[in-house]
Amino acid sequence: MTQPSDLLDNKNIQMKLKELQKAEFWIATILFLFAILVTISNTVNQNYRDFNYFLDEKIPYSYFSNFFVPEIFRVSLIYFSFLLLNFCLIPSIIHKKNELLNYFLIFFLIVFVGIVTGVCKTYSEAYQLVYYNNLQQAYNHIFFKSFSYALWLVILIAAYVLIKQLIVFFLENKNSNLKSQNQMKIDIGVGLAFWLVGLLLWVTSRSALQITILWTLVLFSTIGIVTYAIYYLLPIIYTEKRKFKSYLWQIFLISLVLFQSV
């Protein structure tokens, strides 16, 4: 039975969550405006680290088209992607509202960010075009990196939102889930300890940097999936008496996205 004190705590948590959302919006907006000002300043002062690459390859360079415009697009994509994912798409998926539509919009966002980023890179990194046998090969490389960047951008923002929602979930159920919270801390601690042992093994054996990065990405992804599934997704499915296949589909989609990114 829900106690009046529990209802009051949940109401306070919801109020604090709204305050957090306002703070997130304003912090993101201030950082966005600051990045715009820095970009304008660097353009005026002609401060661009890749400028020498253009000179070395004897390629005409414009601070406006090769630096300012691509950088403005890059910063804007990060800002608007964060707003869209943090305040609209992922919360709607978590609350089971128009799930298919929101999954499609996330996919469209990845494609859009990848295409725009790729086009921008053809200007900001135009000096790389001479490194390849033909333009098609160069464009393939640039756009592949751009789509990888877009995918990682969405994954990182989504991870932030999911962690935030997980914290809110435990705060709302802190009285009834104290034991599960302690167990979650133990499970995460064991996972991190396993990661640290493996990391020390790879470092001491002088393995390639790619192996260390892959080890970290795979293990962190596994810890995140297990924690999300056991302590958040499964309790919700059990409470709402939903079919187990909904759990399998969500875990499958998350695993697929992580597999493609790795």
> Do 138 and 71 share a structural domain?
yes
- Residue from 229, 214, 220 nearest 195 by CA: 220
Domain that holds residue 66: 1-176
Whole-angstrom Cα distance, residue 71 to residue 117? Answer: 10
Q: Which of 176, 209, 229 is the last residue of a domain?
A: 176
> Do 61 and 125 share a structural domain?
yes
- How many secondary structure helices (H) and strands (E) does the chain include? 10, 0
Whole-angstrom Cα distance, residue 215 to residue 17? Answer: 34
- Residue from 228, 219, 218 nearest 184 by CA: 228
> Do 2 and 55 share a structural domain?
yes
Q: Which of 142, 176, 210 is the last residue of a domain?
A: 176
Whole-angstrom Cα distance, residue 177 to residue 170? Answer: 7
Q: Which residue, chain included where needed, has tokens 């829900």?
A: 2
> Do 159 and 199 share a structural domain?
no
Total domain count for the chain? 2
Q: Which of 176, 200, 235 is the last residue of a domain?
A: 176
Whole-angstrom Cα distance, residue 39 to residue 72? Answer: 7
Note the pTM of the prediction, 2 decimals: 0.65
> Do 147 and 48 share a structural domain?
yes
Q: What is the pLDDT along the chain (262 residues), one digit of tens a residue?
A: 444 455 445 566 566 667 878 888 998 899 999 989 988 887 776 666 677 777 777 788 788 888 889 989 999 999 999 999 999 998 888 777 888 898 899 999 999 999 999 999 988 888 887 788 888 888 888 899 899 889 888 888 887 887 777 777 666 665 555 566 666 666 666 666 666 666 666 655 556 666 767 767 777 777 777 777 777 776 766 666 666 666 666 666 666 665 555 5
